[in-house]
Structure 1
Amino acid sequence: MIRLDKYLADMGIGTRQEVKRRIRQGKVTVDGTVVRSPEYKVDEECTVCCDGGRVCYEAFEYYMLNKPAGVVSATEDRTEKTVIDLIGGQRRKDLFPAGRLDKDTEGLLLITNDGALAHRLLSPKKHVDKMYYVRVKGAVTEEDVHAMAEGINIGSSALEEWTKPAVLDIISSGRESAVRLTIQEGKYHQVKRMFLARGKEVTYLKRERMGALALDESLQPGEYRRLTEEELKDLYETDRHA
């Protein structure tokens, strides 16, 4: 059971104060009866309507976002536009990005309010693959492939910080190279630091996959959609087998 005001606020109808006001004004019904008490308890089986429209409760929501460059992976920021700002409509207040992408990094980002799933997907102990498309200055060689496979020291000269083994696939190599890198961690600026440790500068970075969830290439940067039932099932399978 859940309080009526929380039910409505969770579904993005308004803030707790706004929905309390609507309830007290008689604009909310439960199973066809006007309810004026914000504390009234309802469950998912109840038919809740606000201003004549039905409000169906979902405990969790899952969105795939193609994060554009220039947007920060945060729920709120005083000066920068956030990934949550990109989710339009009557969005719920408890959404957050599952993990972070650097401000200038593009690509797959899961937006949800399922904290337990997000924690398991992001835990280093779970070994969930994160695959990135990367462009770097300079030629990427088989020596780089072997080095990445053994783990890279991305620490400072005074402090070592080794990554776990990573898989590097060379797409093209030259004055500017294109590669795909698969890692199982999410250290601060990790991909950039791994290539920097090999003497190469990352010029473009895009996450294409996290576990079984692959970026929908039809989504333009800044666009998003709900996960399909099949994608959500695969994501939970990733969690269980990681």
Structure 2
Amino acid sequence: MERLQKVIAHAGIASRRKAEELIAEGRVKVNGKIVKEQGVKVSPSDKVEVDGIPVEREQPVYFLLYKPRGVLSAVSDDKGRQVVTDYFSEVEQRVYPVGRLDYDTSGLLILTNDGEFANLLMHPRNEVEKVYVAKVKGIPTKESLRTLQRGVKLEDGKTAPARAKVISADKKKQTAIIELVIHEGRNRQVRRMMEAIGHSVLKLKRERYGFLTLKGLSAGEGRELSAHEVKQLRTLATQKK
């Protein structure tokens, strides 16, 4: 037996909080009857509907993918380009990426069919750390790195403080390898942050998400997350900062 709002969230229809609102508004039916009380539990055999549409209840699954460059963080593409779900064509459940990595960015991406879990990880308030390694034009100064650490003003607002360091620098080619640690997930955020301090990104990879790494994987390979890893991620996202 699971709480009704959790079933709705797992189906990817809405966050758990939004699901509670849908229930309160009388938009949810269980076995043909409107349910407005919070905390009602349903069994796998119960028929759940939201706005008259049956909720398809799937067993939640969780995967980690080493996304290659040149692949879209999407479930489909009208231009026929390769998407991350192509790597999970044999998985029965309809998985989708948690957040996104740009087309030209490689690295660690989580995919799931658990809407509540995805919303939990993506919420900026929950501050799950993401570690990126970027090859950039030019060699950032210590003051430039301090700007990243304090937060950078972008067109959609100032970024939260980040951690940044130069891993290596090639003075001859005038390029550098930078490690940047952030917990937000804005569109093209790392690229925009680096451009804001005068260094365009030549290559970008997400190497870590929370405690998860790409260890043992090559680009295009993935693996299922263990139950323990999923539990750890939930704990990481909900612990008080």
- Partner SS state of residue 208, structure 2: strand
1:163 counterpart residue number: 159
Q: 1:226 aligns with which of 224, 227, 231?
A: 224
- Whole-angstrom CA distance in 2 between matches of 1:224 and 1:191: 24
CA contact (8 A) 1:64 1:215 kept: no
1 CA distance for matches of 2:165 and 2:76?
A: 36
Counterpart contact for 1:145–1:168, Cα < 8 Å? yes
Map 1:4-15 to 2 at 5 A. Answer: none
User: Partner residue of 1:65?
Assistant: 65
CA deviation vs aligned residue, 1:189-219 (integer Å, no higher than 9, x gap)? 110011101111101111111222x222321
Q: Is the 8 A contact 1:124 1:185 kept in 2?
A: yes
Aligned residues of 1:66 and 1:215 also touching (Cα < 8 A): no
For 2:63, the aligned partner's letter is Y
1:108-119 → structure 2 map (5 Å cutoff): 108-119=108-119
**Shift of residue 178, structure 1, vs aligned partner:** 0.7
Equivalent positions of 1:197-236 (< 5 A) are 197-212=196-211, 214-236=212-234
Alpha-carbon distance in 2 for matches of 1:182, 1:111 = 21
Cross-structure match for 1:88: 89
Cα displacement (A) at 1:58? 6.4
How far apart, in 1, do the equivalents of 2:234 and 2:72 lie? 26
Q: CA deviation at 1:163?
A: 0.9
Conservation of the 8 A alpha-carbon contact between 2:58 and 2:93: no
Take 2:186 and 2:154, find their aligned partners in 1: how far apart are those partners? 10
Query: d(CA) in 1 for partners of 2:228 and 2:107?
Result: 20
Identity rate, percent: 37
Normalising by the residue count of structure 1, what TM-score does the alignment of the two structures yield? 0.71
Check 1:148–1:231 CA distance in 2 against 1; reply closer, same or farther (3 A cut): same
Q: 1:117 touches 1:239 (CA, 8 Å); kept in 2?
A: no
Q: Deviations over 1:100-158 (max 9, x none)?
A: 00001000000101111111111111122111111111112211221011110122xxx
Would you say the 8 A contact 2:162–2:182 is kept in 1?
yes
Work out the CA distance in 1 between the residues paired with 2:178 and 2:91: 39
| 1:77 partner SS | coil
Secondary structure, aligned partner of 1:173: strand
Q: Tell me if structure 2 keeps the 8 A contact 1:130–1:182.
A: yes
The gaps in structure 2 that reach 5 residues or longer are 2-10, 12-42, 46-56
* 1:151-176: CA deviation from partner (whole Å, max 9, x where unpaired): 10122xxxx62111111022113411
The yes-or-no answer on 1:106 pairing with 2:102 is: no
Alignment CA distance shift 1:165-1:90 (3 Å):
closer
1:193 aligned onto 2:189: no
- Residue type at the aligned position of 2:168: S
Contact map agreement 2:62 2:110 (CA 8 A) in 1: yes
Shift of 1:90: 4.0
| 1:130–1:184 Cα contact (<8 Å) kept | yes
SS at match of 2:154: coil
> What letter corresponds to residue 97 of structure 2 in structure 1?
P
Shift of 1:70: 0.8
Give the unaligned 5+ runs of structure 1: 2-9, 11-41, 45-56
**Structure 2 Cα separation of the partners of residues 161 and 229 of structure 1:** 37
Please, what is the CA RMSD of the aligned residues?
2.2
Tell me the equivalent position of 1:77.
77
1:162 is matched by which residue type in structure 2? K
Larger radius of gyration: 1
1:140-155 matched pairs, under 5 angstroms: 140-155=140-155
TM-score (norm 2): 0.71
Amino acid in structure 2 at the alignment position of 1:105: T
Counterpart secondary structure, 2:133? strand
Number of residue-to-residue matches in the alignment: 186
Distance 2:218 2:180 in 1: 22
2:135/2:178 contact within 8 Å kept: yes
